[in-house]
Amino acid sequence: MAAAWPSSRCVDSATCSSRGWRRPVPSRNEGGARRPPSLRLQLSLWLLVPLMGLLAFDAWLTYQRAMSAAHTAFDRTLEASLRAMREGIRLREGRLDVDLPNLALELFDEQAGPHIYYRIRDEDGATVTGYDDLPMPAEAPLQLYRTVFYDTEFRQQPLRMAAQRLPVHDVGSARTRLVWVLVGETIEPRQLLARDILVGSLLQELVLVTLALGIVWFGVRRGLRPLHRLSDTVAHRGTQLDPIEQKDLPAEMKPLVQALNQYMARLYRMVQARKRFFADAAHQLKTPLAIIQAQSELALRERDGERVREHVRLLHGTVRHASKGVQQLLSLSRLEPDAGYAPTLRPLRLDTLAQGVALEWAPVARGSEIDLGFEHDGPVQLDGQAELLQEMTGNLIDNAIRYAGRGAVVTVRVALSGGMPVLQVVDNGPGIAPAERDAVFRRFYRGESGRSAEGTGLGLSIVREIARLHGATVALGDTPNGGLTVSVCFGATDCVPPLPLAGEGWGESLANP
C-alpha cells in the first residue's frame, strides 16, 4: 500500500499545525470515547512524580552538602598554605622582605596546579608581592591571626579566598608592622569533588527509587486484588439484588460496597414496586374485563334495542370504573417513595385551589343529592404542586360523596391551625370505625362501611402519598353529631383535632339539591 503523505492544505485548523500535519489524537476505544485511564497507572504516576521531585530536591541538598564538605577540606589546605607563607615574611630595617617557601605552593600542585593566586600587602594598601588586584575581604577582621574565608571573582573566575591579618616584628629595632596575607584558588577542584559525591549519591538513590517503584508496583497490584474480586463478584451476580458481603474487605472499599448495597436496595424496592403495580393492575382489571366481556356478549345476543341499550349502559359504567382504577394505580405507582418522584413546589393559595376543586365536583355532588359546601377563614398560603393537591382534594371529595350517602352534607374547609395550613373534608355520613382508620389507607381496602359503595379502595392511599410529598400528615376523626372528618395538616407532625365549623349550614353551599 502506498504511503499516505500529509496534505499541504489543512481543513481543520484545530487539528492541524502550521505545516498541515495533524496533531496527535488521544487514544480512543472502538466506540470513539476516550479510553479510561488505568487505576494502577494513576497510582504509579502519583507515586512516581513525587518521588522524582523528592529525588531532585535531595540531589540539590546533596550537592550543597558536598560543596560544604569540599569547602571545609580545601579551606584547611588554604589555611595551611597561608600559614606557610606567613613564615617567610620578615621585617628588616623597616622594609618587608618576603621569602615564600616551596611548601606554601606545593600544597596545591596535585589539586589546582597553576590556578593559585596570592597577595601580601602592608597596612597602607601597598602590595609587597603577588597580584595587586586580588580582592580583599568585604569585612576586615580586627582580630590578629584570624583567618577569614570568602568567595569572590577574580579575572572572570570564581575564587575561594583565605585572608589573615598579622604583625611582623623587627628583632633588631623592635619595630612592628601589620601586613595582610591573601591566598586564593579556583573552585574547579571543589566542584569536581562535589560532583563526584553527588553522582555517587544519585546512583545509590536511583537504585533505591527503582527498587521502591518495583515494590510499589507490586504492592499496588496486590492491593487492587480485592477490587478485582469485587468486580468479579458483581459481574457474576446476574439479576440478584442481594447485598454484597463486606467480610474480609479493606476498610477503604467498605464505603463503596455500602453505596452499592444501598443502590441495589433502592433498585430492589423499585423492582418490587413495579411487580406490585402489575399485580395490582391484574387484580384491578381482571374482574372488570370479565364483566365487560360478559356484558358485550349479552348485548350481542339481544335483539331488543332497549335491552341492548341497557347492556351498553352497564358496559359503559364498568369501563368507566376500570378506567378510573387504572388511573389511580398509575398515580399511586408514580407517587410511591421508591419511585423517586420529587414534586415541584411553588407558592400557591390553598383556599383558592380547594374552592376550584369543590366547584368542579359540584355537579357530581348534585347528581348524588349531596349538599357540597366550601368554607375558609381567609387566604392560606403554602408551597406545593397544584396538580397533586388538586388530585388529593378531588379524591377526598369523591370518597365523601361515595360513602356519605344520599342527602348527606359535605364541606371542604381550609384554615390555619397554629400557623400551619389545614385542609379538611367533613361529612355527616356513617363515618369509619376507629379500628379501621389505619387499614383504610392500604390499597384496595374498602372496609365494612364502603362495601356497598362503588370504588377502588385506592383514594386514601393516593391522598396519603401526596400528603407525604408535601410534608403533611393525614388524620381521620369523628365529625360532631356523627360523620367523618379527614384532616390534612401541612408542616405538622401530628394533625390537630377537627377544627370547629362555622356553624349550621357548614359554609357556602356549592351543590345544594
Average pLDDT, the chain: 76
Phi-psi label, residue 240: left if phi above 0, alpha if psi -120 to 50, beta otherwise: beta
Predicted pLDDT at 449: 52
Contact 406, 370 (CB under 8 A): yes
Predicted pLDDT at 21: 40
Q: Over the stretch 452-482, which tens digit does the pLDDT of each residue have?
A: 455 566 778 888 888 888 889 898 988 888 8
Average pLDDT over residues 354-365: 91
How does residue 17 score in pLDDT terms, banded at 50, 70 and 90?
very low
Predicted pLDDT at 503: 46
Predicted pLDDT at 488: 92
Average pLDDT over residues 15-38: 49
Query: Which residues, 6 or more positions from 428, have their beta carbon under 8 angstroms from its beta carbon?
Result: 404, 408, 409, 479, 481, 482, 483
Predicted pLDDT at 104: 59
Contact 449, 430 (CB under 8 A): yes
How does residue 231 score in pLDDT terms, banded at 50, 70 and 90?
confident
Predicted pLDDT at 423: 93
Number of continuous H segments (helices) and E segments (strands) in the chain: 9, 15
Predicted pLDDT at 326: 65
How does residue 278 score in pLDDT terms, banded at 50, 70 and 90?
low
Tell me the three state secondary structure of residue 365: helix
pLDDT of 357 above 90: yes
pLDDT of 411 above 90: yes
Average pLDDT over residues 209-215: 80
DSSP codes, 299-330: HHH---HHHHHHHHHHHHHHHHHHHHHHHHHH
Class of domain 64-193: alpha beta
How does residue 413 score in pLDDT terms, banded at 50, 70 and 90?
very high
Bridge-based pairing state of the strands 409-417 and 371-376: parallel
Higher pLDDT, 285 or 410: 410
In the block, cell 381521620 appears at: 476
Fold adopted by 254-337:
Helix Hairpins (1.10.287)
CA 507, CA 513: separation in Å to the nearest integer?
Answer: 15
How does residue 348 score in pLDDT terms, banded at 50, 70 and 90?
very high
DSSP-derived letter for residue 246 is -
pLDDT of 394 above 50: yes
Closest by Cα among 137, 133, 129 to 104: 129
How does residue 64 score in pLDDT terms, banded at 50, 70 and 90?
confident
* Grid cell locating 382: 403554602
Predicted pLDDT at 404: 86
How does residue 36 score in pLDDT terms, banded at 50, 70 and 90?
low
Contact 412, 397 (CB under 8 A): yes
Domain limits of the chain?
A: 64-193, 254-337, 344-511
* CA distance between the termini of the chain: 94
Predicted pLDDT at 334: 63
* Grid cell locating 341: 418522584
Higher pLDDT, 414 or 236: 414
Predicted pLDDT at 499: 53
Which CATH architecture does the domain made up of 344-511 adopt?
2-Layer Sandwich (3.30)
Predicted pLDDT at 288: 67
Q: Over the stretch 71-123, which tens digit does the pLDDT of each residue have?
A: 888 888 888 888 888 877 888 777 777 777 665 555 554 444 447 888 888 88
In the block, cell 345544594 appears at: 512
Phi-psi label, residue 160: left if phi above 0, alpha if psi -120 to 50, beta otherwise: beta
In the block, cell 368507566 appears at: 320
pLDDT of 505 above 50: no
